[in-house]
Amino acid sequence: MMRKTNSFKLAVVAVGMLAIGTVSAQTTTATDLVKQAEAVKSVDNKGTINHVQALNGLTQSTNADNVTTFQLGGTLVAPTTITTDATNYFAIQGVERVEISGANAEVPATVATLGTGGISLMVRDEATGEVKKLLAEDAAKFLSLFNRAIREEGTPTTPGTFAVAGLPLMNPASANAIEAAEAESNIAKLFVYRNGVKLNYGTDFTVPTADEITFTLASAVTDIIEVQFTN
């Protein structure tokens, strides 16, 4: 009997350490500690009666052999924070890939529940650390806030160049394969007109520095330049 009691005590300690380590920053109030009807009773080696229960994201179940199992999964009853760092990181393996061909973009904007169709993205609120959802159909709109389209029109202040705030450097000949690929992609989204005539990258202009277009043939300060760039 003593061996079984000690084994149970070790199991309870292990579960307790898991719960504490997982939700180390949670706030526990007196209300959270009210003994539930399904609390498990145990007696230590000094005869003290204790009760163990699962709360805040943990679930307990007891089978026909009176074996109680504590496991992850359940309802949070208090704000809960999991703190990680470069060494002690949080990882999930086995996440299923979503095939875009069969995805449903229509997902309710309300609180997510299991069994609901559609796809949403998980994002983090940097102000509070709270995990929230972003609808897949809104992802492009959200990202466009950080990659706005650019349109500039006017006359050059300096012959041969035209300032375009926010325009990235474009060097398709870069030795860095990623930079070269990014430049090629950006060039395909850049449209430059001089006096209503469309110009060609490389032949008529280049973008050797950020925020500025350089013309192959010097432009006049009376030229009307229009630039359109879509991120």
pLDDT of residue 51: 79
* Position 2 in a domain: no
* Position 4 in a domain: no
Assess whether 139 and 167 both reside in one domain. no
Q: How many CB atoms lie within 10 A of CB 192?
A: 22
* Position 27 in a domain: no
pLDDT of residue 96: 76
Domains of the chain: total: 2
Give the residue from 129, 145, 161 where a domain finishes.
Answer: 145
For the chain (231 residues), the mean pLDDT of every run of 10, in chain order, is 41 38 46 66 83 81 84 85 89 76 58 63 84 78 79 90 94 94 95 96 95 88 92 75
Element (H, E) at 16: helix 2-22
- What would you report as the CA-atom Rg of the chain, rounded to the nearest whole angstrom? 31
Assess whether 115 and 131 both reside in one domain. yes
d(CA 150, CA 227): 8
pTM of the model: 0.50
* Position 92 in a domain: no
* Position 19 in a domain: no
The two most distant CA atoms of the chain are separated, in Å, by: 98
* Position 161 in a domain: yes
pLDDT of residue 113: 59
Assess whether 159 and 196 both reside in one domain. yes
**What's the domain range around 111?**
97-145
pLDDT of residue 208: 95
Assess whether 222 and 209 both reside in one domain. yes
pLDDT of residue 229: 96
* Position 167 in a domain: yes
* Position 184 in a domain: yes
Give the residue from 79, 112, 145 where a domain finishes.
Answer: 145
